[in-house]
Chain A
Amino acid sequence: NAGVMQNPRHLVRRRGQEARLRCSPMKGHSHVYWYRQLPEEGLKFMVYLQKENIIDESGMPKERFSAEFPKEGPSILRIQQVVRGDSAAYFCASSRTGENTEAFFGQGTRLTVV
């Protein structure tokens, strides 16, 4: 049973481009969480999704950021018109259910905006 898979591991984008980060949850997991870690800081919650639904997006910036978790395929975190401040490590986690179950984390995608 493969763990949470994130790709790409490293992503370089020029200012103004779009960044798409992908997360494939563990088999049997229908809950996905995205976190952002800015340099020298802890992980900050961004968004919590179940299949085809956004449950909690209280940590998502209001503009340029969006997330989806379609019925088929990976969860996608999309950042439009990237700026240098978006440079960070983005981690995805998945769990079998939302309540009282362990969340497993991927290895992260390191986004660098140049």
Chain B
Amino acid sequence: KQEVTQIPAALSVPEGENLVLNCSFTDSAIYNLQWFRQDPGKGLTSLLLIQSSQREQTSGRLNASLDKSSGRSTLYIAASQPGDSATYLCAVSGDTGGFKTIFGAGTRLFVKA
């Protein structure tokens, strides 16, 4: 059974700091891994999707890496801003359990001005 764990559960940093969010998963037989952003009371915004054959994806100040063999992914946020404050969710899709996406519990990020 696939399980996804995100560390830390919560993070508070001053504006401008570079930071790393961690995600680990127990079954390496995945098709893709996705990072989402969720603002309080809102829906999901897809940030980055990494296919299983890829090692990383970049979008603006965000960079996500994937190490399938070790079951790990990191989301790197450069030069953090107060507008980055949100919950960041890691999710994997794979053959385990039949293609459904399994989510981590999220990392709640607060960037102080």
Q: Please, how many residues of chain B have a CB less than 8 angstroms from a CB on the other chain? A: 26
Question: Which 8 A-B pairs rank lowest in CB-CB distance, beginning with the nearest?
Answer: A107-B43, A42-B105, A98-B99, A100-B31, A43-B103, A105-B44, A42-B103, A108-B43
Known pairs A43-B89, A56-B98, A105-B44 / 18 extra A-B pairs, C-beta < 8 Å: A33-B101, A41-B105, A42-B103, A42-B105, A42-B106, A45-B101, A45-B102, A56-B97, A58-B97, A98-B99, A100-B31, A102-B32, A103-B93, A105-B36, A107-B43, A108-B43, A108-B44, A110-B41
Interface residues on A, range: 20 to 34
Say yes or no for B49: interface residue by CB 8 A criterion: yes
Q: Evaluate contact between B101 and A103: CB separation under 8 angstroms.
A: yes
Residue-wise interface mask of B (31-55) relative to A, using a CB-CB cutoff of 8 A (1 in contact, 0 not):
1101010000111101001011000
Residue of A nearest to B105 (CB): A42
Q: Evaluate contact between A104 and B46: CB separation under 8 angstroms.
A: yes
A44 to chain B, nearest CB (A): 8
Say yes or no for B104: interface residue by CB 8 A criterion: yes
Evaluate whether A99 and B31 lie within 8 angstroms (CB atoms) in the complex, with A42-B89, A43-B89, A107-B43 already known: yes
Q: Evaluate contact between B98 and A98: CB separation under 8 angstroms.
A: yes
Please indicate the chain B residues that have their CB under 8 angstroms from the CB of A103 in the complex: 93, 101
Please indicate the chain A residues that have their CB under 8 angstroms from the CB of B97 in the complex: 45, 56, 58
Please indicate the chain A residues that have their CB under 8 angstroms from the CB of B49 in the complex: 102
